Amino acid sequence: MDEYINPLKSRYASKKMLYIFSPKFKYTTWRKLWYNLALVQKELGIDISNKQLDKLSKHIENIDFEIVKKYEEKFQHEVMAHLYAYADLAGDNARKILHLGVTSAYLTDNTDLIQIKEALLIIKNNLITFIKSLKEFSTKYKNLTTLAYTHLQKAQLTTLGKRSSLWLQSLIFDFEELNFILSNMCLRGVKGTVGNQNSFNELFSSNFEKVKNLDISLAKKMGFNKVYKVTSQIYDRKFDTSILNFLSNLSQSAHKITNDIRFMQHLEEIEEHFEKNQIGSSAMPYKRNPIYSERVASLAKFIMSLQSSGGFIAATQWLERTLDDSACKRINIPQAFLAADAILILLNKIFDNIRVNKTIIEKHVKKEMPFILTEDILMKATKNGGDRQILHEKIRIYSMQVRENLYSKTTENDLIKLILNDESFKLTPKDIDEVLNPNENIGFASLQVEDFIKETVDPILEKNKKY
Amino acid sequence: MDEYINPLKSRYASKKMLYIFSPKFKYTTWRKLWYNLALVQKELGIDISNKQLDKLSKHIENIDFEIVKKYEEKFQHEVMAHLYAYADLAGDNARKILHLGVTSAYLTDNTDLIQIKEALLIIKNNLITFIKSLKEFSTKYKNLTTLAYTHLQKAQLTTLGKRSSLWLQSLIFDFEELNFILSNMCLRGVKGTVGNQNSFNELFSSNFEKVKNLDISLAKKMGFNKVYKVTSQIYDRKFDTSILNFLSNLSQSAHKITNDIRFMQHLEEIEEHFEKNQIGSSAMPYKRNPIYSERVASLAKFIMSLQSSGGFIAATQWLERTLDDSACKRINIPQAFLAADAILILLNKIFDNIRVNKTIIEKHVKKEMPFILTEDILMKATKNGGDRQILHEKIRIYSMQVRENLYSKTTENDLIKLILNDESFKLTPKDIDEVLNPNENIGFASLQVEDFIKETVDPILEKNKKY
Amino acid sequence: MDEYINPLKSRYASKKMLYIFSPKFKYTTWRKLWYNLALVQKELGIDISNKQLDKLSKHIENIDFEIVKKYEEKFQHEVMAHLYAYADLAGDNARKILHLGVTSAYLTDNTDLIQIKEALLIIKNNLITFIKSLKEFSTKYKNLTTLAYTHLQKAQLTTLGKRSSLWLQSLIFDFEELNFILSNMCLRGVKGTVGNQNSFNELFSSNFEKVKNLDISLAKKMGFNKVYKVTSQIYDRKFDTSILNFLSNLSQSAHKITNDIRFMQHLEEIEEHFEKNQIGSSAMPYKRNPIYSERVASLAKFIMSLQSSGGFIAATQWLERTLDDSACKRINIPQAFLAADAILILLNKIFDNIRVNKTIIEKHVKKEMPFILTEDILMKATKNGGDRQILHEKIRIYSMQVRENLYSKTTENDLIKLILNDESFKLTPKDIDEVLNPNENIGFASLQVEDFIKETVDPILEKNKKY
Amino acid sequence: MDEYINPLKSRYASKKMLYIFSPKFKYTTWRKLWYNLALVQKELGIDISNKQLDKLSKHIENIDFEIVKKYEEKFQHEVMAHLYAYADLAGDNARKILHLGVTSAYLTDNTDLIQIKEALLIIKNNLITFIKSLKEFSTKYKNLTTLAYTHLQKAQLTTLGKRSSLWLQSLIFDFEELNFILSNMCLRGVKGTVGNQNSFNELFSSNFEKVKNLDISLAKKMGFNKVYKVTSQIYDRKFDTSILNFLSNLSQSAHKITNDIRFMQHLEEIEEHFEKNQIGSSAMPYKRNPIYSERVASLAKFIMSLQSSGGFIAATQWLERTLDDSACKRINIPQAFLAADAILILLNKIFDNIRVNKTIIEKHVKKEMPFILTEDILMKATKNGGDRQILHEKIRIYSMQVRENLYSKTTENDLIKLILNDESFKLTPKDIDEVLNPNENIGFASLQVEDFIKETVDPILEKNKKY
């Protein structure tokens, strides 16, 4: 309790995501990279015995961090420390075959990519779950008429399901970006000190096909289908930028969605689940605050801020690599994933138990109907031969007049009456009645939702069934 | 000369890009949107005469900005002002058929997307040109051995073409992102006030198929293959974020490339073209500064900074739309494109006339050879049966010793001699001779470049021949 | 109309601010810097005739931009071009005395600082005006009871003037930062090519006191009290960062203030002025959108995004200067000021005509009173000997129960009744009556406002009377 | 080892800084706030016994986190959980007097400010130490002539101490900003639920003087001289922005300084300390990489990225407070301090053992002298009556010619000869000799350093002796 505890770790992120970025995962991956390198080198003719490989294979998981620490104090070089510790376990000869032709970046850069891939897959999984949840929500409420707001001012009518279909669409954009990234992902592979695979010239007698083979075979053993054709010492840091961009984009969707929920909870139209014993405020016991939505918004801001570091690093990498990426990467990439993980957990939690207050929603719609009808009245009047611009102007003046009265006195909204009395509209009470039903004024909201889900969302869910 | 002049406009960007974001382009696009809307509506059965359409078509280009200004002073509403001015030209009845069922966002949002698409196509064109140029450069210098730098310290050898192939790869990533964006692009289409197409309920007798038809037909007439299936009043601002992300990513590549050039010009290995009469510095007449590269880096920083506004806007759009995107969008999206345009113009200019000082490059390589050979010596000694870790340590100590001497005295680099004298390396002068040729120490750099161009770059160029 | 028109220029910023960043202002400042340099050098003993100085003085304002352009095409060097054009006017000998011992940065860097200072003074002026306006607003409404919101949920009571006093406080912070910057501001001065004033060694016979004198005398003639004691070729770019930080901070205040206004306009409690003929929406004529507040928020986002470029530039300036600051600076510093200028103009405009709907505000307060009273009831009950935590829990349960009823049925809020009936509260109807008056439940809001204005705001206004 | 380990915690930051942001520090501060509130309330007449206070005082340090956890599971409210746990220790009656009139924000917001203040003091201390160190470095090397670089191109001469005095000046700017922040810092104080101190109306019989007294007395007991005169539920989040701005500004200085060091190490003019057994690269044993400087640059990028979250939060706080600040604040403010702490530790470490290679520096200067002299030659020739612009042009042409020869052939630099042979310069070999000494060409570099230290740095160090 005497040191800073990061709430991402202690409170928000899942065990699964925390593990991906743990020392355990990282250093066993290093050992896998050493082991598989030796394995592939043997396959390509280098003299490495099966016995040596067996020993290496056997000791992948049991890392003695105390021994590593001692070596690190000696060398002040993390990779060397782990290399010696691993070689000690695998027998003296191991040092000869381990790390053959490679440099630290072989370990660190490939591991970074492996961690990122695993983390993306967790995000993908949780994102699909949330997309399903929002699809259900949108379907369920596709017909529930509600006030739409533009400029945060009451505008016309929409449906709750239509509004949530827009959130869903934002997430579909994010999902497509995620797939774009995953399908283009490459391992850094076996490239040597400055990327030229020079150290393999000697080992493989200048045979480029063999070296390419080494590269792709290693990648496949580590779970990748592709390997960069060219790298410097490191993979292009633009890839990290693309990850931070994606996580920021996802956060923006989450921020927008929860902002909308916070407004609707303000309107009492919707409510986050509230535990029976939960205390909303120590001083205001009657309060029910949308704290999960607020937390999502807060974590989103954190992730969005990290984004700029990606570009700054990529833009200032000098020549074949500089190390001014390392400490920053090690802090912000894991945390961006941990926070994104937390956001999806929270979003799923919110929608698992969200409460929709239909009574309140209906009350709000009803109160605003006279104003809302003006667009329909305008359309009908235009159809009947009126000049849209003139009538628009008239309605504007009547509306302002009515609004003034509502502000200062306790009158009723008599806009409809004023319009009916104005002959230039050429409207009868029957015409008005035809447009008066709120459910008639949501346009094609419901059909749009159906169409969008059928044509866009369902095919994606079908293709990603396994998640 | 009495007002701020934006250098993007007066100095850096092309006429072509400046036109895309001009009032002329914008407001003729509005008229095209009005005209095509009427056209499609007629096709779908609305009573609009060919004569009216002809008049509208005829007046698309001749905008009288003075008249517009007068209307705007009256209404304080830009769209209304342009609507009246257009209608005036097309005859009184025009007001009845113009803007039928739509709201301002029909004009503004669709036009934004059309401008962005046109601007992306200019970028695509210039990017392809620069990719071709870098491909040629990489091919030309694929064998030119040069010092590689890690940590900005002399490392081992690479080739100039290999280094530039990494720049090329960065741009290929950007190009793929650009294509991803273009292939997913949708028009906002005809969606009405809050996105529900309610105003077309009446016009098209509740026929959703007709309304979808209206939407997609209009999009096609405006040059788009797709239209968003759902929108609020506006298209999802996440799209703008994706544009700013792309332009920032492109800028990061440009910043990295020109940083590298600036280093190489510092080393006198490479030089931007310098005009005969050009003055490098008013006080230091001998100077040749890489000013185009520096300008690219500067514009890149500008674009990268704009990126955060995309996310901020997307994340804080409330419910069906708020207007706190507008002023910011109108300033930063055009300028991000203008600056990216300028960057590509500058990059093409730099590489059209770049000078490579082979003599200097060779001199630098030669001087560093003893150190560089250590990796090869290590590989050879390991192959001869030496323990890599022990020999690495020995070389390290010898190197430090030699370096000390070089720092303080005026001695020669005698590292090779020290190694030959140490029996644990088991190396003969013949072994050393085998690794001594710089051209033998660039590994597979040249072959990597060929492979990368053949497998990755050429197919892309083939597919984009028309640019 | 064929080129991009920046709305900051065509729509938002003042003529005054636009002039500061105009070519006219910039290049006349260059001439003033040349003239005053010669003047000071003469005062310090350099052989320059009064006649020459007179000629230079006479031609400061009449810049022939055509001639400059021709020279620039020749030299590709902006400073040289202006130097020749100015010297041409002042007679042949002028070239000998102009630019004596200085480099381009003498012109560009000092002019940047002069422009920034002038722009800051305009901001200061408009900020003081707005502070006065907000002070009046806060004083006027210090007693107007209104619902406070936490988590955007109805909380307890505050007053409108108290709320606006928080906006005022934010601006006071900004104002103090502005003064901190202004009082620390230095001119870059006369420092030579790399900052060492080496070129004056010869001119002033190695007399450092004379050179320091030259530096500070020139600064004073240009309106500065201080000059940097050390610079490289340029002043430290951290200063530009501090400017962008300040403008971003000011924008954050403006964004927060206008967000609050937008909420209040949503609640119909407050309203931006709306012109009689103004059209709120082309499709929804009844709407009154807070478009000025939204524009402020939008411009604020723009400025905030520019902030990161400041740090990026300052952090990546190499050794005695690199030019990767220039293009970016020339775009973002002027625009940050133009946008900040626009924001203050808009804020002053909003508050000059803002409408407060007392009737609505009172209605909202009244409706929420039973809930709001719980804190007072709690305090009173605690004073009467109740256990705060137990009673808090009871009130929480009653409140949730009441809230449920309000959501689903059309009942009255009977919270007070439930509390009175619960003996553990030990409260009488008289106790309740004592806390029932809204005006009794705003605590010390009004007194806080008075105290804050008297102790903090008024002394600042007093000190800055001249603005 | 199964969870993410933040390197700020495991590797970079000091125990002292980690403690400030630990749960231990945070929750004991809560108890101090509760205890001191009761203490001050008693002093102001509230009926609280000494015995109760003694009990509270006694249990400040011994927090049983297990018990707290249980309460938190029950209430899902962190403050309530700690309140019950503390009250349990202090006896049943404690609940009646604890938390009297306050809300959660009393604990959380005041604690945030206390943590920030303590963290700033650690930064101040380490910054002063580093300023002293840089002062010594600058003094030591004030006369060591070295090549200055503009555009990363060899320019004229400066001294190493002059260059480092610019770093020092950057840090002085940061230090002044730090003092500005500290001297303006206020505690949030005792303000109640929405900032109106309403809950104290009853307790202190509407006596505002008493309530102000409560506020300032509590602040003083917690180590603050000032308290905000007005707040909402929380202190203005602009304060957090100012902290992130300051830490970003400091990082920019650190980034610039270490970039310069990395260049100089590239030139082999300067070198970070390198341990005897340290391994520079696992594949390139001869390397000495400036890894501490690179780490500083990396951490600086991290901090700079966090900056934008400050503005985003401050700008989007709605009305009397929203909770979308909390999670983000809890992650980025501590980490920004931890990273800044690490940066100062690293900077102090680098300069404690930095190595300056005078031999190399002198060699570089000597090689460039002919070019460098051109400015002096120009000054001398101008003094002798030459036309600066014409001679500048001539030197430019000669320089380019010499440079061409140096590029392509193995000639000597014969610029001086060319100039002497050109009669328009009116220069004798004696004139040239006078400007030929490098130590004569550093201008007033050395005197500037002395002047700057004496007039600016020393007074600051004197005022801050205790650090």
d(CA A12, CA A302) in angstroms, rounded, equals 13
D35 neighbors A17 (Cβ within 8 angstroms): no
Q: Give the pairing type, strands A355-356 and A270-271.
A: antiparallel
A230 neighbors A186 (Cβ within 8 angstroms): no
Which residues of chain B are within 8 Å of residue D386 when distances are taken between CB atoms? none
Q: What is the pLDDT of residues A241-255, one digit of tens each?
A: 999 999 999 999 999
**Could you tell me the end-to-end alpha-carbon distance of chain A, in angstroms, rounded to an integer?**
38
Distance from the Cα of C347 to chain B's closest Cα (Å) equals 15
Q: What is the pLDDT of residues B149-165, one digit of tens each?
A: 999 999 989 999 999 99
Q: What is the DSSP letter of A163?
A: H
D382 neighbors D425 (Cβ within 8 angstroms): no
Is the confidence at residue D377, as pLDDT, over 90? no
Does the distance separating the beta carbons of D357 and B150 come in below 8 Å? no
Bridge partners (DSSP) of residue D355 are D271
Distance from the Cα of D395 to chain B's closest Cα (Å) equals 6
Which residue has 């002059």 as its token pair?
Answer: D162
Does the distance separating the beta carbons of C295 and B103 come in below 8 Å? no
d(CA B20, CA B27) in angstroms, rounded, equals 11
**From first to last of its 467 residues, what are the pLDDT tens digits of chain C?**
888 999 999 899 999 999 999 999 999 999 999 999 999 999 999 999 999 999 999 999 989 999 999 999 888 888 989 999 999 998 867 887 888 889 899 999 999 999 999 999 999 999 999 999 999 999 999 999 999 999 999 998 999 999 999 999 999 999 999 999 999 999 999 998 899 998 898 789 899 999 999 999 999 999 999 999 999 999 999 999 999 999 999 999 999 999 999 999 999 999 998 776 666 666 677 778 999 999 999 999 999 999 999 999 999 999 999 999 999 999 999 999 999 999 999 999 999 999 999 999 999 998 888 888 887 788 788 877 788 778 888 888 888 888 888 777 666 788 888 888 888 888 888 888 777 776 678 899 999 999 999 999 999 999 998 76
Q: What is the DSSP letter of B357?
A: -
D338 neighbors D9 (Cβ within 8 angstroms): yes
Query: Degrees (nearest 5) of the Cα angle B70, B74, B79?
Result: 80
Which residues of chain A are within 8 Å of residue D1 when distances are taken between CB atoms? 22-24, 63, 65
Which residues of chain D are within 8 Å of residue B402 when distances are taken between CB atoms? 286
Distance from the Cα of D17 to chain A's closest Cα (Å) equals 8
Nearest-CB residue to A252 (from B229, B253, B314): B314
Q: Could you count the other beta carbons within 10 Å of the beta carbon of residue B208? A: 18
Distance from the Cα of D214 to chain C's closest Cα (Å) equals 13
Q: Which of A402, A393, A394, A397 is nearest to A370 (CA)?
A: A402
- Would you state the pLDDT for residue D182? 98
Does the distance separating the beta carbons of B376 and A193 come in below 8 Å? no
D142 neighbors D158 (Cβ within 8 angstroms): no
Q: Is the dihedral of CA B31, B35, B41, B47 positive or negative?
A: positive
CA distances from A142 to A268, A447, A451, B215, C467 (A): 19, 8, 11, 21, 57
**Residues of B marked as catalytic:** 151, 281
d(CA B102, CA A375) in angstroms, rounded, equals 10
B451 neighbors A229 (Cβ within 8 angstroms): yes
Q: What average pLDDT does this structure show over A417-435?
A: 84
CA distances from A369 to A157, A440, D112 (A): 9, 12, 48
Q: What is the pLDDT of residues B173-224, one digit of tens each?
A: 999 999 999 999 999 999 988 999 988 987 898 999 999 999 999 999 999 9
Size of interface B-D (CB pairs under 8 A): 120
Q: What average pLDDT does this structure show over D430-449?
A: 83
B234 to chain A: nearest residue by CA?
A150
Nearest-CB residue to B285 (from D150, D283, D399): D399
Is the confidence at residue D328, as pLDDT, over 90? yes
D356 to chain B: nearest residue by CA?
B407
Q: Could you count the other beta carbons within 10 Å of the beta carbon of residue C443? A: 30
Among the ranges given (A231-245, A431-445, B322-336, C451-465), the one the predictor scored with the smallest mean pLDDT: A431-445
Chain D interface test: which of A8, A118, A324 (most D C-beta within 10 Å) = A324
Chain B interface test: which of D157, D263, D287 (most B C-beta within 10 Å) = D287
d(CA B120, CA D174) in angstroms, rounded, equals 42
Q: Which of B140, B173, B401, B267 is nearest to A236 (CA)?
A: B173
Q: Could you count the other beta carbons within 10 Å of the beta carbon of residue B88? A: 15
Does the distance separating the beta carbons of A322 and B157 come in below 8 Å? no
User: Largest Cα–Cα distance of chain B, in whole Å?
Assistant: 101
Is the confidence at residue A438, as pLDDT, over 70? no
The share of chain B scoring above pLDDT 70, in percent, equals: 96
Chain D interface test: which of A282, A303, A329, A337 (most D C-beta within 10 Å) = A282
Bridge partners (DSSP) of residue C428 are none
A197 neighbors B449 (Cβ within 8 angstroms): no
Which residues of chain D are within 8 Å of residue A326 when distances are taken between CB atoms? 294-295, 298
Q: Is the dihedral of CA D227, D229, D234, D236 positive or negative?
A: negative
Helix (H) or strand (E) holding D158: strand D153-159
Query: Degrees (nearest 5) of the Cα angle A114, A117, A121?
Result: 140
A325 neighbors A105 (Cβ within 8 angstroms): no
Does the distance separating the beta carbons of A9 and D294 come in below 8 Å? no
- Please name the amino acid found at residue B86: Y
d(CA C9, CA D14) in angstroms, rounded, equals 50
d(CA B335, CA B329) in angstroms, rounded, equals 10
Which residues of chain C are within 8 Å of residue D233 when distances are taken between CB atoms? 150, 155
Q: Which of A287, A289, A300 is nearest to A257 (CA)?
A: A300
Is the confidence at residue B140, as pLDDT, over 80? yes
Q: Which two tokens stand for residue D275?
A: 């341990």
Helix (H) or strand (E) holding A430: helix A429-436
D93 to chain C: nearest residue by CA?
C387
Nearest-CB residue to D407 (from B153, B279, B357): B357
Burial class (CB in 10 A: 0-12, 13-18, 19+), A413: middle
Show which subunits contact C, needing at least 3 CB pairs below 8 angstroms.
A, B, D
Distance from the Cα of D39 to chain A's closest Cα (Å) equals 21
- Conformation bin of residue D385: beta by default, left when phi > 0, alpha when psi is -120 to 50: left
Contacts of B312 (CB under 8 A, 6+ apart): A304, C301, C304, C305, D312
Among the ranges given (A388-392, B462-466, C166-170), the one the predictor scored with the smallest mean pLDDT: A388-392
Share the mean pLDDT of chain A.
92
The share of chain A scoring above pLDDT 70, in percent, equals: 96
Is the confidence at residue D162, as pLDDT, over 80? yes
- Please name the amino acid found at residue A29: T
Is the confidence at residue D336, as pLDDT, over 90? yes
- Would you state the pLDDT for residue C34? 97
**Residues of D marked as catalytic:** 151, 281
**Residues of A marked as catalytic:** 151, 281
Q: Which two tokens stand for residue B409?
A: 């005295």
**Could you tell me the end-to-end alpha-carbon distance of chain D, in angstroms, rounded to an integer?**
38
Does the distance separating the beta carbons of C200 and D232 come in below 8 Å? no
Q: What is the pLDDT of residues D90-110, one digit of tens each?
A: 886 788 788 888 989 999 999
- Would you state the pLDDT for residue D439? 67
Which residues of chain B are within 8 Å of residue C24 when distances are taken between CB atoms? 1-2
Which residues of chain D are within 8 Å of residue B288 when distances are taken between CB atoms? 153, 400, 403
SS3 call for D70: helix
- Would you state the pLDDT for residue A150? 95
Helix (H) or strand (E) holding B174: helix B160-184
- Would you state the pLDDT for residue D367? 86
Does the distance separating the beta carbons of C331 and B339 come in below 8 Å? yes
- Would you state the pLDDT for residue C297? 98
Distance from the Cα of D407 to chain B's closest Cα (Å) equals 7
- Would you state the pLDDT for residue B285? 72
User: Largest Cα–Cα distance of chain A, in whole Å?
Assistant: 102
Chain A interface test: which of D98, D102, D324 (most A C-beta within 10 Å) = D324
Identify the active-site residue in C281, C305, C308, C424: C281
Which residues of chain D are within 8 Å of residue B283 when distances are taken between CB atoms? 375, 378
- Would you state the pLDDT for residue B283? 67
Show which subunits contact B, needing at least 3 CB pairs below 8 angstroms.
A, C, D
Distance from the Cα of C70 to chain A's closest Cα (Å) equals 36
d(CA D237, CA A275) in angstroms, rounded, equals 30
- Would you state the pLDDT for residue C300? 98
Q: Give the pairing type, strands A145-150 and A153-159.
A: antiparallel
Nearest-CB residue to B338 (from C4, C9, C313): C4
D239 to chain C: nearest residue by CA?
C173
Share the mean pLDDT of chain D.
92
Does the distance separating the beta carbons of B306 and C304 come in below 8 Å? no
C423 neighbors C439 (Cβ within 8 angstroms): no
CA distances from B295 to B7, B292, C9, C217 (A): 12, 5, 24, 34
Q: What is the pLDDT of residues C83-113, one digit of tens each?
A: 999 999 988 678 878 888 898 999 999 999 9
User: Largest Cα–Cα distance of chain D, in whole Å?
Assistant: 102
Q: What average pLDDT does this structure show over D189-206?
A: 90
Show which subunits contact D, needing at least 3 CB pairs below 8 angstroms.
A, B, C
Higher pLDDT, B445 or C201: B445
d(CA D134, CA D121) in angstroms, rounded, equals 20
CA distances from D342 to A51, D122, D211, D298 (A): 45, 11, 42, 11
> Binning pLDDT at 50, 70 and 90, where does residue B361 land?
very high
Q: Is the dihedral of CA A8, A10, A13, A15 positive or negative?
A: positive
Chain B interface test: which of A109, A229, A235, A457 (most B C-beta within 10 Å) = A229
Nearest-CB residue to D288 (from B153, B262, B288): B153
- What are the b/e assignments for D444-460, b being 16+ CB within 10 Å? bbbbbbbbbbeebbeee
Does the distance separating the beta carbons of C263 and D319 come in below 8 Å? yes
Distance from the Cα of A216 to chain B's closest Cα (Å) equals 14
Which residues of chain D are within 8 Å of residue B396 when distances are taken between CB atoms? 279-280, 285-286
Q: Which two tokens stand for residue B109?
A: 């949002």
Q: What is the DSSP letter of D440?
A: G
> Binning pLDDT at 50, 70 and 90, where does residue A277 land?
low
Which residue has 């391992």 as its token pair?
Answer: A187
Q: Which of D55, D153, D46, D64 is nearest to D102 (CA)?
A: D46
Q: What is the DSSP letter of D455?
A: I
Distance from the Cα of C8 to chain B's closest Cα (Å) equals 8
Q: What average pLDDT does this structure show over D369-391?
A: 81
Show which subunits contact A, needing at least 3 CB pairs below 8 angstroms.
B, C, D
Which residues of chain B are within 8 Å of residue D441 when distances are taken between CB atoms? none
> Binning pLDDT at 50, 70 and 90, where does residue D37 land?
very high
